[in-house]
Structure 1
Amino acid sequence: MADLKGGITRNGAAYHGRMLNILGQRYFPKSSCETSFSFETNSEPGQFVPVHVHPHQDEFILVQEGELHLKLDGVWSVAKAGDLVRMPKGVPHGYFNKSDKPARALFWVSPAGRLEALFETLHDMTDIPAIVEASAAHDVDFLPPEAND
């Protein structure tokens, strides 16, 4: 993976021009280099990413619009526009739009690891067992469904 290239990724755009459909949500990759990978998510009411673990990456969420319910290390909380969520590597976490309004957030991980490659693999996938298997092969481990309760 290359060093970070300078420049601007415009609002509503992806740095390589491709929007990704991940579990029905629109993801816009914003930057990618060896040390970090960032992406914008657009989550409609009811959309979520189940509780999972990144064993080798710290992850952050800057909520830009709306709010997200988060389960971080077994504890529920709500992050609103302007809030920064810090999720250390190895700590189970998931996010859920439990509101009646869309949410938009900027996520990033450090180091980049294989998360961008995972998103390319998951684009338009709908088979949940295949998604879980592909995720594990890219260093993202989903917990059993009861972890989302």
Structure 2
Amino acid sequence: MEIRQEQEIVLGDLPKGITLASEAMGNKTWNVLGHTYLAKAESSTSFAWLSLDPTGTGVPPHVHPTQDEHIHVLEGVYTLYLDGEWTTAGPGDTVRMPMGLPHAYYNRAGGAGKALFWVSPSGKLSQLFDQLHNLADPDEVVRRSALHDVDFLPPGAVPGA
């Protein structure tokens, strides 16, 4: 006896079109922890942003328990923490960070960094960026992030961070 399961095809909510290199999708631009983020694509299944990273900036060790995250480096060299190991990625490299993997990134190389980041599914990350825009209090960044499915590791949990 053959059992058939029918799958409903649901059209996504990604709007068609082009986000120009110099623009942000929907004019969404954020200043988060010294980085400038420009939204490039956003739907329920994927969220991408261009990150402009001055020397000395970074995002401390954290985990996305419900999202895979990727970085495609366009300019500069990033120092990365990936699940207990330190490494670097430069122009043309793509970094894969599966959900649940502790990770961090820093621009320590001297010179501006530029990278395309994306997560899948989108989760609450765009809404988190709305709340973190121009927020200077690190404790409040950690608190609000936890409410949006991004969990920062305690200070000192990662040597060299």
State TM-score, norm by structure 2: 0.89
- Paired-residue identity, %: 47
State the shift of 1:18 in Å.
Answer: 2.9
SS of match in other structure, 2:118:
strand
CA spacing shift, 1:8–1:72, aligned 2, 3 Å: same
**What CA RMSD, in Å, does the superposition of the two structures yield over aligned residues?**
1.0
TM-aligned CA deviation for residue 19 of structure 1? 1.7
- Give the match's secondary structure for 1:9: coil
Please list every run of 5 or more consecutive structure 1 residues that lacks an aligned counterpart in the other structure: none
* CA–CA separation in structure 2 for the residues paired with 1:15 and 1:136: 25
2:142 aligned to 114, 125, 132, which one? Answer: 132
Question: How many residues align structurally?
Answer: 148
**Counterpart for residue 81 of structure 2:** 71
Partner of 1:120 in structure 2?
Answer: 130
**Where does residue 36 of structure 2 map in the other structure?**
26
- How far did 1:148 drift? 5.4
- Per-residue deviation at 1:24? 1.2
Matches within 5 A, 1:1-149: 3-146=13-156, 147=158, 149=160
Runs (4+) of structure 1 moved beyond 2 Å? none
Q: Is the 8 A contact 1:51 1:148 kept in 2?
A: no
2 CA distance for matches of 1:108 and 1:12?
Answer: 18
Q: Distance in 1 between the 2:117 and 2:155 partners?
A: 23
For 1:61 and 1:148, the matched residues in 2 are separated by: 22
Structure 2 unaligned segments of length 5 or more: list them.
Answer: 1-11
